Structure 1
Amino acid sequence: MDALIVVDMQVGLLNGKPKHDLAGVIERINRLAASVRERSGLVILVQHCSGAEDDFVPGTPGWALLPELDRDATDIVIRKTLNDPFTETDLATRLKEIAPDRILITGWATDLCVDATVRSAVSNDYDVVVVTDGHTLNDRPHLDAPSVIRHHHWVWSNLITQRSVTVARTDELLN
């Protein structure tokens, strides 16, 4: 059974500067989530929470998950306050209860919260699949978004771990 983690796909985080292939990323996350649910897997939505200075106070418009995300009553929502959703949350406990064969990781932002999620999932001894066309970010001052994404795919493919870390496109995972 798979657990699909969808990191920080929230209104306030995805407003502003254009995000790399955002509409495509949302569409692929929705297709993958439907497939995971059909196979009795679970979808875990990670939602960033912070103070009023960042517009991510629970219940505010910027904090809301994107309305374009297809949600189901069986989805689990994990609220976090740091980049790493395993820190100071019950994500590790929930995953232990679920005992997935592997964790699929998608979401926002490739170089920050998605990267932290990948590394923590590996550190928590899970087989990880990073969905290569299922995460996004905007251009950074020193690199464009596609370059950041390519760089992280290389890094994740070369992590030293006792478990597997693979990178795969949505279509590969759905076939």
Structure 2
Amino acid sequence: MGKMAVLIVDVQKALVEAHPYREEEFLQELENLADSARKAGTEIIYVRHDGGAGDELESGTEGWKIHEAVEPKTGERIFDKSFNSAFLETDLEEYLKEKQITDLILMGMQTEYCIDATCKAAFELGYGVVIPTGATTTYDNEFMSGEATVRFYEEKIWAGRFADLMPAEAVLGLLGC
């Protein structure tokens, strides 16, 4: 693997306060991985969704803010987006190239929307993608439970195709922790 960064996508107050699958465990997992990455000197990059006027994720509103469990530290970059992909109409790719980052540890919300779109876009752009198991989440819907959705994407969509899925302990090893 080349130079890595952690990409935390859409862990925003309104989304977390809607109580996704494994809410507490998910936040704890992200907090632990982010703290370990910081200690290892790995850059953490945040992506925040702006849903537009009147949306629960409208820029500048309380719900739009990054959740306090994983809020950025001074100097950590935040990229705002308006689409599912963290790359579409943002400067993220340019920033990663400037920093010579070749591999991403991807975490956040929602599994089947912004994480999936960002994972596939990163893959298509040539980035290595690692997703720690249990480090994405979503909600129950009329077709699947949040648990089934996460498992489906981890086991049937991403693993061996678009990303390397590994337990947090293995990700810590990649970080040199």
Per the alignment, residue 5 of structure 2 pairs with 3
Per the alignment, residue 115 of structure 1 pairs with 116
User: TM-score scaled by structure 2?
Assistant: 0.90
Whether the aligned pair in 1 keeps the contact of 2:34 and 2:70 (CA below 8 Å) is no
Whether the aligned pair in 2 keeps the contact of 1:45 and 1:78 (CA below 8 Å) is yes
How many pairs are equivalent? 170
Whole-Å Cα distance in 1 between the matches of residues 28 and 71 of structure 2?
Answer: 9
Whether the aligned pair in 2 keeps the contact of 1:42 and 1:74 (CA below 8 Å) is no
In the alignment, structure 2 segments of 5+ residues that lack a partner are: none
**Aligned-pair distance for 1:71?**
2.6
**Aligned-pair distance for 1:43?**
0.6
Whether the aligned pair in 2 keeps the contact of 1:30 and 1:70 (CA below 8 Å) is no
Whole-Å Cα distance in 2 between the matches of residues 38 and 118 of structure 1?
Answer: 25
What root-mean-square deviation, in Å, do the aligned CA atoms of Structure 1 and Structure 2 show?
1.5
Q: Percent identity?
A: 26
What pairs with 1:22-37 in structure 2 (closer than 5 Å)?
22-37=23-38
Per the alignment, residue 63 of structure 1 pairs with 64
Amino acid at match of 1:60: T
Out of 157, 160, 169, the position equivalent to 2:159 is 157
Out of 154, 161, 174, the position equivalent to 2:172 is 174
SS in 1 for 2:48: strand
Amino acid at match of 1:167: L
- Kindly provide the CA deviation profile for residues 80-113 of structure 1, in whole angstroms up to 9, marking residues without a partner as x: 0000110000010111112224200000100000
Whole-Å Cα distance in 1 between the matches of residues 54 and 63 of structure 2?
Answer: 12
Per the alignment, residue 126 of structure 1 pairs with 127
Whole-Å Cα distance in 2 between the matches of residues 169 and 70 of structure 1?
Answer: 23
**Aligned-pair distance for 1:63?**
0.6
* Off by >3 Å, runs of 4+ in structure 1: none
Instruction: Indicate the larger mover: 80-89 or 45-54.
Output: 45-54
Amino acid at match of 1:12: A
Amino acid at match of 2:172: L
